[in-house]
Structure 1
Amino acid sequence: MIGDNRFTVALTRARAGLMLAVQAGLAAGLAWYLAHDLFGRPVPFFAPIAAVITLASSVGQRLRRTAELVIGVAAGIGIGDLIILLIGAGPVQIGLIVLLAVLMATAVGGGASLIVQSASSAVLVATLTTTTGQPWTRFFDALVGGGVALAVMTLLLPINPLTVVRRAADPALRAFTAGLHEASLGLAEGDPDVIQAALTRLREAEDTFAAFTAAIEAARENVAFAPARWRARGALAQYVDGAPQITYALRNVRVMIRRAQTALNDRERVPEVLPASVRHLGDAVDLLREEWAQGADPVAARERALRAAAESGRAYEDGVGYSGGVVVAQIRTAVADLLRATGVEYAEATRQVRDALGWHGRPHGARKRSGRPRSGPSGSGSMPS
Structure 2
Amino acid sequence: MTRRQFLQTSAAGAIASSASGCGWTLAEVQTQASSRVSSDTLYIYTWAGYTDRDLLDRFSQETGLKVVADVFDSNESMLARVQAGGAGAYSVIYPSEYMVQKMVELGLLAELDHSLLVGLEDLFPQFQNPAHDPDSKYSIPISWGTTGLIYNRKLLDSEPEDWDYIWENQDQLAKRMTLVNDVREVMGASLRRLGHSYNSTDPEHIRRAYEELVKIRPAIASFTTDAWRPQIIVGDLLLAMCYSSDAAEVMPENEDLAYITPDSGSSLWIDTLVIPKSAPNPDGAYQWINFMLQPDVAAQIVERLSFATPSRVAFRKLPKELRNDRALFPPESVIARSETLSPLPPEINALFDRYWTRLTSG
**Larger of the two Rg values belongs to structure:** 1
Q: Which has the higher contact order (CA 8 A, sep 6+)?
A: 2
Query: What band does the TM-score fall into relative to the shorter chain?
Result: under 0.3
Q: So what's the TM-score if we normalise by structure 2?
A: 0.23
Flag the structure with higher helix content: 1
Flag the structure with higher strand content: 2
